[in-house]
Structure formats: C-alpha cells, structure tokens
Amino acid sequence: MPHEVFDPEHVRDMVPGFHSAVKSRGMIFLAGQVGLNEKLEVVEGGLEAQTRQALLNIREVLELAGAGPDDLAQFMIFYKDVEGLSIAEAVSGLVPLKNKILPGSGPVGFACSVKELLFPELLIEIQVIATSA
C-alpha cells in the first residue's frame, strides 16, 4: 500500500526526499514542526512564540492530511537545552497553547532537552503521530 504525503506549499521540496506528513495504514506521522513561519523565518518572541507557531504548523499539516486535533495520539517535544529552562516549566507553558490551538486533543506526551535543533535560533521542535480513519 503506497504512502500518501502532505506538504504545505511553502515547505514543499524544502528538504528533497522528505515530507511534512506521511499517511500510512491508518496513521499520520508528522515531521518535527518548529517555529518557522510561511516565509521560513524563525518567529520572534522566544519560546512561547515558537511554540505557538509550531502548533499552528501542526494544525495546518493535520488539516492537509484530513485530520484534526482529536486525531492526535502522541506528542514528542524537543526543547533546546538553554540555561535556566526546566522541562517542567517548558511543558507547563506549552499546555495552554496546545489546548487553545489544538482543542480536543488528548495525546500521550514525551519531552526532552536536546543540544541543538535545525537552526541555532530554534528553541522547540514538536513531532506528532495521529490516527486516520
């Protein structure tokens, strides 16, 4: 069974051979979403602004794949290891934004800190898995 692939127009072919989402056998796997806007610029405003943008990007890709927030099964959150930021504090800031931007979602979660992300300015990357009818 072939996979279906999904990419917002502004990121299509950004990294040849990779996609924003792949739907296969009732599952939708989203690539890590970060705080890049439609112009592929890192949004200003720190962790909260980047988290908001990453969640908006998740919503956009889910919609392209024919899914919604209630289809989310797993969140994997990667925070850039910055001095003074605890994972608990970072996650507590993410939850209200997730509930506002992706209402009705109740996935399992995972969070960790990492040394670096794709660009030095990025502070968060969120990868999700969703189910599909």
pLDDT tens for each residue of 7-34: 888 777 677 778 888 899 999 999 999 9
Please state, in angstroms and as integers, the Cα–Cα distance from residue 40 to each residue in 12, 22, 73, following that order: 11, 21, 27
State the CB neighbour count (10 A cutoff) for residue 56: 17
pLDDT digit string, tens, across residues 34-91: 999 999 999 999 999 999 999 999 999 999 999 999 999 999 999 998 877 788 888 8
How many folded domains does the chain comprise? 1
Domain carrying residue 58: 4-131
Does the global pTM surpass 0.85?
yes
Phi and psi at 21, nearest 5°, equal -155, 150
Please state, in angstroms and as integers, the Cα–Cα distance from residue 118 to each residue in 35, 39, 43, 66, following that order: 11, 16, 14, 27
Domain with residue 74: its CATH number is 3.30.1330.40
